[in-house]
Amino acid sequence: MTDRDADKRLAAAAAVEEVRDDMLVGLGTGSTAAHAIEALAEKRLRIDTVATSNASAELAARLGLRVRDFDSVARVDLAIDGADAIDARLRAVKGAGGAMLREKVVAAAADRMIVIADGSKRVTRLGSTPLPVEVLPFARAYASLRLAQLFVRCVERPDYRTDNGNIVIDGHGWDDATPRSLADALMTIPGVVGHGLFLSEIDAAYIADNGVVTRLERGRNPR
């Protein structure tokens, strides 16, 4: 039986080997990203960090990492985060943990963005993975109506708010043949503030499957 949590730890350990002293590192959100935070703390490097969620910031601070407020940061050296699904072209779906908007901002600010994952997250098609969409509560009814035109089924997460105070609607059954068109369509809906499609932000991925770590680089062959 595959130990997915062990694979997550292996992928995280491989990714943090890229971190050097004096870097500003973006910390992702979720169970896989938590392994990266723990691995970074163990290395005891001279680094600062910014976090994509309150939970990640609290974990990092508890483990002794220096955490800066991102609102005063314009550039990050390296960001490390998980993914719900990632394909061979390093396009990904993120946001099961609800932090996709902050994750996208930090990824955009990063000189290099790395995804870490276990082998179950590597897919040939992204469309079978629910796509999280962050919506202003004020726009709930209107945005839901518009989102229903893009997905087979939309499900609002019950009793849930992001760290930004917004709701999340998960879109099930979507056409992944032209994900850029979907991403553009989502952002034309007033009230939609973000979504979990990461189409060009990711520079590399470390994916561990049954104890073997594969590195994928944008524009290069796996190593």
Catalytic residue of the set 18, 42, 58, 103: 103
Q: 216 vs 32, 97, 127, CA distance in Å?
A: 17, 23, 21
Cβ atoms of residues 198 and 107 within 8 Å: yes
Mapping DSSP to helix (H, G, I), strand (E, B) and coil, where does residue 77 land?
strand
Distance CA 38, CA 124 (A): 30
Distance CA 39, CA 51 (A): 15
**At a CB cut-off of 8 Å and minimum separation 6, what does 120 contact?**
2, 4
Distance CA 70, CA 57 (A): 11
Active site annotation includes 18: no
Q: State CA 128 to chain mean position distance.
A: 17
Catalytic positions: 103
